[in-house]
Structure 1
Amino acid sequence: MVDGQTERSWRRSLDAALRWRPEELCLYPLYVRPLTGLGRTEGAGPDPEWDAQRLRLYRHGRDHLLTANDFPTELAAFAERGWLDETAGPDLLRLSPEGLAHSDALGPMLFSPGVRSRMAAYDLK
């Protein structure tokens, strides 16, 4: 996400990429982890407005690409909070479009209690 980016400018960027007629165009929701370069950048990370903008632009881009083209969607095998595509069948776990918006955040939800405890005890420097 570029500082000051709007849904309109984001769509123009996506349309410019689509004019190249790529075989595949991947769209990932930006997820900022603490102690990373971006996590230490002012205006990124835990700010609720920034996070809402990040998700809004991701959803806008996702919906635009789904209506503009027939690109395959990359799927992850997770089941949390209704983010599962229940039409996938009993033997297949697949994220719904909304689940994809949270895909990077799902991994920590699967951490064991021991890992969570060690992470909570870690002293940030």
Structure 2
Amino acid sequence: MEKQSAENTKSPSRLIDKRIEELGDWRGRMLSKIRNLIRQADPEVAEEWKWRGTPVWSHDGMICTGETYKNVVKLTFAKGASLNDPSHIFNSSLEGNTRRAIDFHEGDEVDEEALTELIRAAIALNKSGRKTSRKE
């Protein structure tokens, strides 16, 4: 219990740093690269740590989450179904009415320009105050 309460006192940014370091492989490097792109796209982005260990980036509402699994780093956009994706980089969770995701596998290249556009579009959607059909 002491360790858990000590972790709760750490800043979300430090917890994300720790996750990247603990992964110690391509997933950590990918999560770090994605995180840097998010921060470059929006220097005012807020980093959060939710659901017992998921990095979350927000600005006027949730933008996206960065989940890590054995074979994939998944970047899930909370309102992805409402975003224009002209570069077609969404490749996961395509069937839902709200979220969309990008699954990155080992060796994948990140389309930095397209990802930056999606991040900025998600922020613009949040700032517009447009609500999705579900509560966040």
Q: Is TM more than 0.5 here? A: no
Q: Which has the higher contact order (CA 8 A, sep 6+)?
A: 1
Q: Which has the higher helix share?
A: 1
Q: Which has the higher strand share?
A: 2
TM-score by length of 1: 0.28
